[in-house]
Amino acid sequence: MQSTQTKIERFLQGDNSVMEDLLSLFRDKVWYYLKAKIPYDDVEDLFHDVVIAGFNGLPRLQEPDKLLPWMLAITRRKIQEYYKKRDVATTSYSEEQQEPTYHPKKNLSQEKSIKLNKIHGCINQLREPFREVAILHFILGMPYPEVALMMGCNDNTAKSRINRAKVMIFKCSGGK
């Protein structure tokens, strides 16, 4: 089993066979993260931008073990650029345009879909750092230690933020 560092070094030396292995280390997480933050129609385009930027930037990655946090940092930057461009491109601001849309995959009732869509909307309305931890934990399914690593804080702080975010989302989505 090769380490991430070995795979990166092989890729940098021109070995294309490790690309798939490297991609598998962050592909799904980046995909879910994008889905949670931008409108679904644009996810695929931005995903490819992120992947290309990531591979191009690999020579600058200082700690290969932190490939995933590093890729998510690139993803965050791309999302910021995406919204910046959209704000410039669109003449009038529309709340609806800024809201990522949720597409149910299971056979859920319409009522349930609406409820989940509302919860998703509430996650995106949270202020930072609660929005970030909510996406990492509830959407990407990262456990507390991984969220802590991503956020650069200790496990207890991550847990506390996640739980506070949960209460905020509950209030926002109709919990009285």
Partner 1 sequence: MLNTEELDILLVTKTVEEIVADHGAELDEPARAYLGKFAAFEEELTLLGEEFRLAPAPQTTPDPRLFEGRKSLSWWRRPLAIPAWASLAAAALCLVLILTHPFAEVDPKPDAGLDLKTLLAAQRSAPEEPMDRFDQQVFQALSERAIHYIERDTPEHYKLALADLEAVHRMKPNDTRLLRYLVLTCDSLGLSTRKNTYQKLLDNASGRP
Residues interacting with partner 1, by CB under 8 A? Answer: 9, 11-14, 16, 19-20, 23, 27-28, 30-32, 35-36, 44, 47-48, 51-52, 55-56, 58-60, 102, 104-106, 112, 115-116, 119-120, 138-141, 160, 163-164, 166-167, 169-171, 173, 175-176
What is the distance, to the nearest Å, from the Cα of residue 160 to the centroid of all Cα atoms in its chain? 20
Q: How far apart are CA 53 and CA 66, in angstroms?
A: 16
Phi-psi region of 43 (alpha: psi -120 to 50; beta: other; left: phi over 0): alpha
> In terms of CB distance, is 45 or 81 closer to partner 1?
45
Written as one string, the DSSP assignment of 129-140 is THHHHHIIIIIS
3-state secondary structure of 118: helix
Q: How far is the CB of 90 from partner 1 (least distance, A)?
A: 26
In this structure, the number of other CB atoms found within 10 A of the CB of residue 54 comes to: 22
Shortest reach from residue 51's CB to partner 1, in Å: 6
Q: How far is the CB of 86 from partner 1 (least distance, A)?
A: 22
Find the shortest distance in angstroms from Cβ 96 to partner 1: 20
